[in-house]
Amino acid sequence: MSVSKEEETVTFVESIPHGSIFFDIGANCGAYSLIGGKLGLRVFSFEPHGPTFQHLVMNIDINTLHGHVKAFSFALSDHDGGVAMKYSSDDPGAALHEMTHTGVATHDCYRLDSLVTMGLVPAPAYMKIDSDGHEGPILAGAEQALKTVIEIQLEVDDDSPDDVMLIYGLCRAAGLFEKISTRHGATSI
């Protein structure tokens, strides 16, 4: 996967101090996770799409980053349980998948706060979230974890004002404020 279309994400990951805990939520095939792992970050990657998750794990193996990158194949959301997924494609690396509230639960999902409380992951210091419109529910399930975050990079769909308000409200409540904003089509980072 080329990282050239999101140079600001590369810059963000490269700016994280060595040894820091970095959560890559919506990791896809792991381009940013791999950069973080190579730079000595403790990376926790989340990618629920099965074919893409397989490529993420393969990329971790090929780059011998087992000691730095840990991958999870479940979704993060605002509740623990299951979530229905509507896939744009079964191809590895595909994007624009949707979590729906109707249909059969096809994936396990967890609140990030639950994972930290259970001791499955440490509290994050840095986060990148690119989940194609599901950023708000992910943050809603991470209210406590957000209090440990030093910096977060989010992709926000400006066409969803309610989501934007939810995202900004949760970030502000955790003491996080906008530092830089860039635009990619209908979304801003």
Q: Within 10 A of 14 (CB to CB), how many other CB atoms are there?
A: 11
Asked if 6 contacts 13 with a C-beta cutoff of 8 angstroms, the reply is no
Confidence of residue 99 (pLDDT cuts 50, 70, 90): low
What local confidence, expressed as pLDDT, does residue 1 receive? 46
Separation between Cα atoms, residue 38 and residue 100, nearest integer Å: 35
What local confidence, expressed as pLDDT, does residue 177 receive? 85
What local confidence, expressed as pLDDT, does residue 51 receive? 86
What local confidence, expressed as pLDDT, does residue 164 receive? 84
For the segment 22-44, what is each residue's pLDDT rounded down to a tens digit? 999 999 899 999 999 999 999 99
Q: Which of 32-36, 116-120, 130-134 has the lowest mean pLDDT?
A: 130-134
Token pair listed for 170: 């949760």
Separation between Cα atoms, residue 175 and residue 62, nearest integer Å: 38
Separation between Cα atoms, residue 23 and residue 83, nearest integer Å: 21
50 vs 145, higher pLDDT: 145
Separation between Cα atoms, residue 11 and residue 59, nearest integer Å: 21
pLDDT at 4 over 70: no
Could you give the 3-state DSSP secondary structure of residue 23?
strand
Instruction: Write b or e for each residue in 110-136: b if 16 or more Cβ atoms lie within 10 A of its Cβ, otherwise e.
Output: bbbbbbbeeeebebbbbbbbbbebbbb
pTM across the whole model: 0.85
In the numeric block, the tokens 């400006």 are attached to: 158
What local confidence, expressed as pLDDT, does residue 20 receive? 98
SS3 breakdown of the chain: % helix, strand, coil, rounded to 5?
Answer: 35, 25, 45
Confidence of residue 82 (pLDDT cuts 50, 70, 90): confident
pLDDT at 54 over 80: yes
What local confidence, expressed as pLDDT, does residue 33 receive? 97
Q: What is the mean pLDDT of the chain?
A: 85
Over residues 53-68, the mean pLDDT reads: 95
Over residues 94-109, the mean pLDDT reads: 58
Could you give the 3-state DSSP secondary structure of residue 151?
strand
Please provide residue 166's backbone torsions phi and psi, each rounded to the nearest 5 degrees.
-60, -50
34 vs 168, higher pLDDT: 34
Residue 93's contacts (CB-CB under 8 Å, 6 or more residues apart) are 1, 28, 29, 52, 55
Q: Within 10 A of 56 (CB to CB), how many other CB atoms are there?
A: 28
